[in-house]
Structure 1
């Protein structure tokens, strides 16, 4: 029995079915994504989405969708589905779905009269190739299959419309065709495992709508190009494999390739296996470098997200130290003036993150704890570069003041992870001293000093050995309040201390080197537990605050205003749960276990078999944002690993 499955009643209910999406990556920059019934609801949906070097490596939708039509008794039954204006869906192929399973591959069973078809779909690892295996399970008489591809050839962030520049010509190749709508793009090779006839009738399908883009306040209507359709005869027992690829394939090998590729896949037959397979999707190997993608479908490789997600992605259970090193090495190679890229594509990164370099130290600590004994030899120079850059000052007015604490003030910039900006004004004003930044700073300095002492780096030790004591003293003077019982979120020269209840203070508790006493940790965690913890993660602001936003919806400005003002983030369960176990030990074990394994409920929601980026602050905590987020998955895996290893014998 499949772990994740959907029955006919669920899939014919479009409100239910269209709210559940599937994402698969090839681990080399390409991905495939759509809803469980195959109806694209986002501009980011498509069956074959690939990076295109001619356009800076940005990902582009090549194959948007595929209509598979069953023809018998002079009647046609199209199993595809698209949305048009006025909530009109055509065709309505979802009504033919009998069952849908997600265990190894997204697999749909269609019943059309006396014909039963099984469609299994996959993206091939490390290749830009999308495969569909069609199995005729039952057919009382001969029939035909017509397969019509819909092409977009545009950036995932844009939409396309009918135009005269489109190349409508196709070239014939073994058992198929190749097509390229515009110059600069790769050719799309569409082939079958058996002989087919291609009917060349190029056309545009106008006004296809993407309701998720409409909800988000973006353009949501586009036109899709089809070069024509393929036709073949089929009988009961036949197995046909369709391939869409950026290179020509040998048709005779497609069936075997599909079978071999399936055999190598890990079944999604448990909560743990779902998370582990989701984790592998974020790894991207391109041009000799290894990156970690922050989230699907729209994020790229971000420094902060990489360092926070990587321990859970690469080390939890599997302990893939080589993979871990590859990702860290790639990031170190991109470092500039003590800063790591925060966002942007590989060729044009932005460095506006004060915490990414400090999370790097934490990531190296996790590496060392799991057997990475070459940590200092490999990363010591980079660590010292960050310490030196921060202590003497670097870009964005990031600098250490005389009190040993890190202060930052860059007008119009949000440098911490709460980084939403609307009309060049940070939504979450946190300039000055931020609590988690200085907790990370203290951890970084202490960790580097410890390794430097062991390596007998006397020069570094002499320069910085008195700094931890100064940081600790200043931190308590500036952030702590006996009256409040928790620490300030940030402090600056103009506003003084801001005591909004936010989850950043929990990060200070969780650090390996923490300035907080056991009593201070307990009080902080208790406040967070009371005001921030939900079954889906931690709120970014207490509901008692006038600025609290309980739902994440509307256009981009409305969503940005809610992003860090109440919206729940699952990744924050990592520092909270680690801090809770640190403080409460055996007494806290069951609470942490309940929190983490409670997320099994989301495996059949939003991003099916993975964890979303964010959830509403208000119950029932509806999922939102990216459908699969690396640090959501990574931190949950890391906490499971803590429960099963470090805290297993409590």
Structure 2
């Protein structure tokens, strides 16, 4: 039984099929993305979307789509699909789809009269090349294929329109042709494994619409250049390969290359294997030595906080410790440069944000738990020491350790934490002063430092950590049994119930007494927990917005005022296991079942950035988000670890401090 399979009924329902998207990446920053029915619904969609740093920091859509036409008895059946002005879909190729399957690779099966044709798509590792295999499964007469490329050659954040600056000339390539529509772009090589003919029939396909951009309040209409089409016959049982790449390849190698790439894929056969595939797609290796995690697809780059939060789940808990080593070896020099006020690269954004170093400590702590404290110290002990003392020196531009021992975040109205939505440069949720999760991370970091580097621990640090714990409880615990989200002295207190307090109950070292941790988890469970994650604001709090849709302004206001964030489940499950032990197992399993259902929805085989705060909890934002995937993978590990510990009648390997 296929795990990720969509039948003809769903594929024929465009209200359903156009809402589901797939993403494939090549670890070099390039990707392909579309809806599962093949209709592009975003300006970010395309068959070949690649980074071109000399033009802009964003990716660029070169090949937007490739229309397939099946010809029998001289009658063409175009099985492509586009949406045009006025909600018109043409051609209506979705009615010919019999099955869509993504267990290994994206595979679409079409039936046109007596013809059954399978199309399989692979995006090659570490090479900017898309390969499509067409296999004729059934046919009772001669069958011809026509392939029509829709070219864009534009930044993903822009749209192209009919113009006279385009260079429509093409050059012959081995069993194909190549194009370069505008100066500064690389040539795009379109080649076939079997000799056919390219028929020059240049025209503009005008007024294509992207419904997702329309929903988001952006420009949504585009004209695409179609230079002509390839035409060739296909025999029963024959496979023909199409390649789109940035260099000319040997068409004789396409079949072998496709099979080699296929052999490297992990089958998506259950929840975890889907997440493992998804975690790998965030892995970004621009060269032989550096490694990063992209924050999400299709529009995010590398963001420092997201990288450290997602790293344990997307590496060590994804059975890929080599990713952890490479990414840490890349990120640590950048953090050191920032701490030493040396210029930093533009590859990692947000490395100067005040809590990033504390999330880096947490990522080291996760490694120590997975491997051993001694191993962590041998690899990263000096860096941990530098981080702790960097904060103690009070030289961060936005953070100070004051007389209470707590971290005080200095702000000018800009976002200062992971809740980074802003309007006109000002934070929508203005959190300043003492932030609850930042200070929970600070207390945890000090205690971890004491645990793994006792020889460097001093009486002054012991006094500090005791002061931090006392100040934390005095500052954040309120009479209603939960924690303030932030406290800004000499300002009215915000009593909103938000999820950031979960970290004070979940981190390996908690500053809270057990009774308060229990109260925090109970309130979060009652007011913030959903099947898809934790709400960013309680429905009982002022300003709650249950849906995150509409224009950018509307979405910015909703992101952290009610939207559900899946990545927070990692901390929530960890706190729940600490409090309830074996009694937490079935509760966590039921919640994860609710999350598993998401693999069939917004981003197929992966987890979205966020969800609406009210049922049916529709997926929003990026279709694949590293923190969501990473923390759910870590959650699966925590649950399995706790179950195994109880099965062997030993205590769970989770700290209870």
Scaled to the shorter chain, the TM-score interval is: over 0.9
Query: Counterpart of 2:376?
Result: 375
Counterpart CA distance in 1 for 2:336 and 2:613 is 37
Counterpart CA distance in 2 for 1:206 and 1:345 is 40
Does residue 163 (structure 1) correspond to residue 159 (structure 2)? The answer is: no
Q: Does the CA-based 8 Å contact 1:58-1:345 persist in structure 2?
A: no
Query: Counterpart of 1:23?
Result: 23
Counterpart CA distance in 2 for 1:347 and 1:591 is 40
Q: Does the CA-based 8 Å contact 1:317-1:641 persist in structure 2?
A: no
Does residue 450 (structure 1) correspond to residue 451 (structure 2)? The answer is: yes
Query: Counterpart of 1:310?
Result: 311
Q: Does the CA-based 8 Å contact 1:81-1:92 persist in structure 2?
A: yes
| Aligned residue runs from structure 1 range 28-427, under 5 A | 28-287=28-287, 288-316=289-317, 318=319, 320-335=320-335, 346-347=346-347, 349-351=349-351, 353-371=353-371, 373-427=374-428
Query: Counterpart of 2:550?
Result: 554
Range that drifts further, 56-65 or 408-417: 56-65
TM-superposition CA deviations, 1:223-257 (whole Å, max 9, x none)? 11122211111222221000001111111111121
- The Cα RMSD (Å) is 1.9
Query: Counterpart of 2:483?
Result: 487
TM-superposition CA deviations, 1:472-502 (whole Å, max 9, x none)? 1111111112x21111111002325433111
Counterpart CA distance in 1 for 2:203 and 2:396 is 52
SS at match of 2:54: helix
Instruction: Count residues with an aligned counterpart.
Output: 642
CA drift of 1:464 comes to 2.8
SS at match of 1:48: strand
Counterpart CA distance in 1 for 2:229 and 2:284 is 33
Does residue 432 (structure 1) correspond to residue 433 (structure 2)? The answer is: yes
Does residue 502 (structure 1) correspond to residue 498 (structure 2)? The answer is: yes
**TM-score of the superposed pair, with normalisation by structure 2:** 0.95
CA drift of 1:205 comes to 1.2
Q: Does the CA-based 8 Å contact 1:337-1:389 persist in structure 2?
A: no
1:474 to 471, 479, 490: 471
Q: Does the CA-based 8 Å contact 1:42-1:210 persist in structure 2?
A: yes
| Aligned residue runs from structure 1 range 558-637, under 5 A | 558-637=554-633
Which ranges of structure 1 fall in alignment gaps of 5 or more residues? none
Does residue 517 (structure 1) correspond to residue 513 (structure 2)? The answer is: yes
C-alpha distance 623-317 of structure 1, shift in aligned 2 (>3 A): closer
CA drift of 1:462 comes to 5.6
| Aligned residue runs from structure 1 range 530-545, under 5 A | 530-545=526-541
SS at match of 1:504: helix
Counterpart CA distance in 2 for 1:446 and 1:85 is 60
Q: Does the CA-based 8 Å contact 2:533-2:568 persist in structure 1?
A: yes
Q: Does the CA-based 8 Å contact 2:303-2:350 persist in structure 1?
A: no
Which ranges of structure 2 fall in alignment gaps of 5 or more residues? 647-657
C-alpha distance 202-263 of structure 1, shift in aligned 2 (>3 A): same
Counterpart CA distance in 2 for 1:589 and 1:39 is 41
Q: Does the CA-based 8 Å contact 1:216-1:555 persist in structure 2?
A: yes
CA drift of 1:18 comes to 0.3
Counterpart CA distance in 2 for 1:349 and 1:370 is 27
Q: Does the CA-based 8 Å contact 1:409-1:431 persist in structure 2?
A: yes
CA drift of 1:391 comes to 2.7
TM-superposition CA deviations, 1:393-433 (whole Å, max 9, x none)? 34543111111111112213111111111122211111100
CA drift of 1:353 comes to 2.3
Q: Does the CA-based 8 Å contact 2:303-2:351 persist in structure 1?
A: no
C-alpha distance 605-7 of structure 1, shift in aligned 2 (>3 A): same
Q: Does the CA-based 8 Å contact 2:11-2:94 persist in structure 1?
A: yes
TM-superposition CA deviations, 1:70-116 (whole Å, max 9, x none)? 12222111111111100011111111111111111111111111111
SS at match of 2:458: helix
Counterpart CA distance in 1 for 2:42 and 2:32 is 12
CA drift of 1:297 comes to 0.6
CA drift of 1:316 comes to 1.7
Counterpart CA distance in 2 for 1:194 and 1:263 is 23
